[in-house]
């Protein structure tokens, strides 16, 4: 399965989570792959994912094989409307390998029924929350719910952004810094928390540019920004993966995203 999973990851990071535009997604797939490798056939696994934008299909389910997997389609408070559903369904047309492996979610959830739906199931050994945390208005409560739904020594995996435009309004709520997510997890029953982050400040710049050029800016300014975008991606692409120190202020970093695995205390 490792070889097949890597082929799917290669497809996803080219045709959906485009690493040329969004290098931080390399962190997501490297870390989630390592966690999946530790899962045994006896483990119970849950994914909390926004499946409704893909007609209920879980993109990340394509990475699992021979696993007791349950998928919870998390719909944020204002997103349960027709115009929000299937927003990215057409992207599946560019993911033939992924499409063969994806599974539809078994449960539709929201902030009001998530606790009941998780807690009425048999406890899990692993819970995965990729790209969802900032769409939950109370992540402290979410961590508490996940903790109560895990077996003893169960694991929680989270990937989320620290830097991103306010999107999917009004269902974009909170962003943690890496230190903030550690604090939140520790205070909701987790230990042995390991956090990896994207590191390059240049990546933060290129990610912001990618968002800014989507706006109706003055044409001359947009041209200049696009030129800078191409220069960095082509001439200085190696800087997107390198860590650089702030020369003026200590105790400073500029991660675009973090990836965290924590164990139930």
Nearest partner of 134 among 98, 208, 184, judged by Cα: 184
Domain-located, residue 247: no
In a domain, 168, yes or no: yes
Q: Per-residue pLDDT for the chain (265 aa), expressed as one digit of tens each?
A: 689 999 999 999 999 999 989 999 999 999 999 999 999 999 999 999 999 999 999 999 999 998 999 999 999 999 999 999 999 999 999 999 999 999 999 999 999 999 999 988 999 999 999 999 999 999 999 999 999 999 999 999 999 999 999 999 999 999 999 999 999 999 999 999 999 999 999 999 999 999 999 999 999 999 999 999 999 999 999 999 899 999 999 999 999 999 999 999 9
Q: Is there a single domain that holds both residue 57 and residue 187?
A: yes
Q: What is the DSSP string of 194-211?
A: EEEE---HHHHHHHHHHH
Give me the phi and psi of 3, to 5 degrees please: -65, -45
Whether residue 227 sits in one domain with residue 109: no
User: Is 73 a domain residue?
Assistant: yes
Together in a domain, 165 and 189:
yes
Range of the domain at 184: 2-199+254-264
For residues 110 and 226, membership in a common domain is answered with no
Q: Assess whether 177 and 204 both reside in one domain.
A: no
Does 147 lie in the same domain as 115?
yes
The pTM for the full model equals 0.96
Same domain, yes or no, for 211 and 109?
no
Question: Hey, what long-range contacts does 12-19 have (CB within 8 A, 24 or more apart)?
Answer: 12/59, 12/62, 12/95, 12/98, 15/91, 15/94, 15/95, 16/59, 16/91, 16/94, 16/95, 16/98
Task: Give the pLDDT of residue 1.
Answer: 60
pLDDT of residue 2: 85
Whether residue 130 is found in the same domain as residue 91? yes
So what's the pLDDT on residue 176?
97
Give the whole-angstrom CA distance, residue 117 versus residue 115.
Answer: 6
**Residue 248: inside a domain:** no
Whether 249 maps to a domain, the answer reads: no
Nearest CA to 196 out of 255, 132, 130, 113 is that of 255
Residues 119 and 229 placed together within one structural domain of the fold:
no
The answer on 209 and 149 residing in a single domain is no
Is residue 8 domain-shared with residue 98, that is, in the same domain? yes
The confidence score (pLDDT) of residue 29 equals 98
Q: Is residue 140 part of a domain?
A: yes
Q: Are residues 82 and 121 in the same domain?
A: yes
**How many domains does one find in the chain?**
2
> For position 64, which CATH number holds?
3.40.50.150
């Amino acid at each position: 399965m490792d070889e097949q999973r890597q082929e799917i990851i290669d497809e996803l990071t080219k045709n959906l989570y485009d690493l040329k535009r969004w290098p931080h997604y390399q962190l997501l797939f490297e870390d989630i792959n390592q966690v999946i490798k530790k899962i045994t056939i006896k483990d119970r696994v849950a994914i909390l994912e926004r499946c409704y934008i893909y007609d209920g299909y879980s993109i990340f389910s394509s990475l699992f094989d021979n696993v007791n997997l349950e998928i919870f389609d998390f719909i944020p408070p204002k997103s349960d409307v027709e115009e929000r559903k299937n927003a990215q369904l057409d992207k599946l047309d560019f993911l033939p390998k992924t499409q063969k492996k994806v599974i539809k979610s078994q449960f539709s959830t929201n902030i009001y029924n998530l606790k009941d739906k998780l807690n009425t199931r048999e406890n899990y050994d692993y819970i995965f929350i990729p790209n969802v945390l900032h769409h939950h208005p109370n992540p402290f409560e979410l961590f508490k719910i996940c903790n109560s739904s895990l077996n003893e020594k169960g694991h929680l995996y989270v990937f989320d952004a620290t830097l991103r435009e306010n999107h999917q309004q009004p269902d974009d709520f909170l962003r943690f810094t890496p230190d903030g997510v550690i604090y939140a997890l520790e205070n909701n029953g987790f230990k042995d928390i390991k956090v990896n982050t994207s590191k390059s400040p240049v990546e933060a710049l290129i990610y912001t540019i990618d968002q800014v050029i989507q706006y109706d800016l003055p044409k001359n300014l947009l041209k200049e920004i696009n030129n800078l975008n191409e220069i960095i991606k082509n001439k200085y692409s190696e800087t997107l993966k390198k860590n650089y120190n702030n020369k003026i202020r200590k105790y400073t970093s500029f991660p675009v995203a973090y990836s965290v695995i924590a164990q139930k205390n």
